[in-house]
Amino acid sequence: MEQKEIWKSVLGEIELQISKPNFLTWFKQSQLINKNEKDGTVLVSLPNNFAKEWVKNRYHKIILGSLRSLDGSIKNIDYVVVSQNPAVIQSNQKRGQVSKTIANPQPTLIELKIDPKTNLNPRYTMDSFVVGSSNELAYAAVQAVTKDVGKKYNPLFIHGGVGLGKTHLLQAAGNEIKKTYQEGVNVLYVTSEKFINDVVWAIRNRRMEDVKKRYRNIDVLVIDDIQFIGGKTATELEFFYTFNVLYENNKQIIISSDRPPAAIPTLEERLRSRFEGGMTVDVSYPDYEMRLAILKTKVQEQGWSVEEKILESVATKVQRNIRELEGVLNKVVFYEQYKGEKMNTKKLEEIINETTQVTSKNITATAVIKIVSDFFEVSPDDLMGRSRKSEVVKPRQICMYLLRDILKLSYPHIGEKLGNRDHTTAIHACEKINRDINQKPSLNQRIMLIKERVYKDSG
Ligand code: ADP
Ligand code: MG
């Protein structure tokens, strides 16, 4: 339990730092299997030698950093190859084939197995999806599709920013259809990377017929993150043909993308118009109530106990996406359960910063200044200028606060960005807003709105 929690937190953090395909390829089957309390070495298992070498060489630093932020007593990591099949581990151990002796092996099998036939992960269900104003349309569309496969909305195209639940919805649709029709329908979930790889492999190995057969035999094709397909001519063409064959035979196609069809720059026109010919819905940013509801649902699902106050605080501060919400929650629980310490404001702040920092790299100071100036209807020049009028001073202070809060800029840097002011001015502004937020709900509300805009624009 403990090790599982640590590893889950580590994975949550790594997931935010590397690309999704890399994450899935290298970390999906990794586990933390042991910690040597004496020398602080932990043992991480990987499913094969290749993965072991790759992870060790490429990701050691990130993993160690992340582990140490959770448990300062961890000093080093050893990597071992452990097959996921417990029977194999045992017999290998007997024959002494595992390079390290595992003192206390706890090869926890992934309880929820991905179905190799459909690629669906049973963890994603319609029931575990929290519905609110930001996703109710998408949810309703998925529900309709699962009830009337291939007939109602075809294709169903769901788009929205990172971590807002697209994969969850797509997989839940697949699982729901599978549950209803059992062996009667052929469901396949693939990421567009997987599709691209299959096509590239087939071309190279002259096995295109196999691939064609596989994909065109499907009743429900669920394809995640389609935006990557744009511009890859051969793949796009193959997808277009596959799409047509399925479509003409009333097979259901469900697609996700990080943007609407019109905004995938290199997508061929005829494919774009096919996408737009079905139903297009988006998932957007959850509001406070929904963020809190999601946290509560997760806590309940996992049987954790976390103080209401903490959940409220997380829901207030973590606004960018649901993946980050989960990341912070996992760490909070880890901290309380594994370390046996109570969460305090300072620690919570640290956890939130750690988790959310890595994803704010697309945001620039200029963008923040622009959004604040738009919001208060004062010009950026005014914000940077010398005016002491209160309708300028307040937004300027809020802007300073946000540069600190979102971008973690240093005070001198903040001063410089806002018209070469002294760093003490920046400190004063940040402290003032920090105090005021707690006393004035309307100010808090405004700052949240601005932050949402900032994240939305950069996401
Ligand atoms: P995306 O594919 O849009 O990047 P994901 O579907 O991977 O996002 O969602 C990120 C995480 O947040 C997943 O663990 C998912 O289960 C969870 N999640 C997203 N939306 C919801 C929701 N409405 N209710 C419950 N969990 C959600
Ligand atoms: Mg996704």
CATH number, residue 18: 3.30.300.180
Which one-letter DSSP state was computed for residue 228? G
**CB 333, CB 321: distance < 8 Å:** no
417 lines ligand 1 (CB under 6 A): no
Domain end among 356, 376, 398: 356
pLDDT, tens digit, for every residue of 385-419?
999 999 999 999 999 999 988 887 888 899 999 99
Give the per-residue pLDDT at 187: 97
Give the per-residue pLDDT at 287: 87
Q: Number of folded domains in the chain?
A: 4
Query: Domain limits at 190?
Result: 136-283
pLDDT, tens digit, for every residue of 356-393?
765 556 789 999 999 999 888 899 999 999 999 999 99
Ligand 1: which atom is nearest the Cα of residue 297? 25
Read off the pLDDT band of 321 (50, 70, 90).
confident
Whether residue 379 is found in the same domain as residue 448: yes
The arithmetic mean of pLDDT across residues 16-43, rounded, is: 83
Whether residue 326 is found in the same domain as residue 260: no
Compare 247 and 161 and report the one with higher pLDDT.
Answer: 247
45 lines ligand 1 (CB under 6 A): no
Read off the pLDDT band of 424 (50, 70, 90).
very high
In the predicted model, is pLDDT for residue 63 greater than 90?
Answer: yes
CA dist 430 and 448 (Å) reads 15
| Domain annotation covers residue 106 | no
Give the mean pLDDT of the chain. 85
Query: Do the bridges between strand 220-224 and strand 279-282 make them parallel or antiparallel, or are there none, so unpaired?
Result: unpaired
Ligand 1: which atom is nearest the Cα of residue 161? 3
CATH number, residue 406: 1.10.1750.10
Give the per-residue pLDDT at 341: 82
pLDDT, tens digit, for every residue of 124-140?
999 989 998 889 999 99
162 lines ligand 1 (CB under 6 A): yes
Residues ≥6 apart with Cβ < 8 Å to 194: 119
CA dist 280 and 156 (Å) reads 6
| Domain annotation covers residue 179 | yes
Give the per-residue pLDDT at 112: 63
Return phi, psi of residue 256, to 5°: -125, 160
| Domain annotation covers residue 113 | no
Residue nearest to atom 11 of ligand 1 (CA): 323
Whether residue 252 is found in the same domain as residue 371: no
Q: How far is the CA of 258 from the centre of ligand 2 (A)?
A: 8
Q: How far is the CA of 10 from the centre of ligand 2 (A)?
A: 19
Residue nearest to atom 19 of ligand 1 (CA): 165
Nearest ligand to the CA atom of 132:
1
Whether residue 141 is found in the same domain as residue 279: yes
Read off the pLDDT band of 84 (50, 70, 90).
low
Class of residue 181 by CB neighbours under 10 A (exposed 0-12, middle 13-18, buried 19+): middle
Whether residue 402 is found in the same domain as residue 432: yes
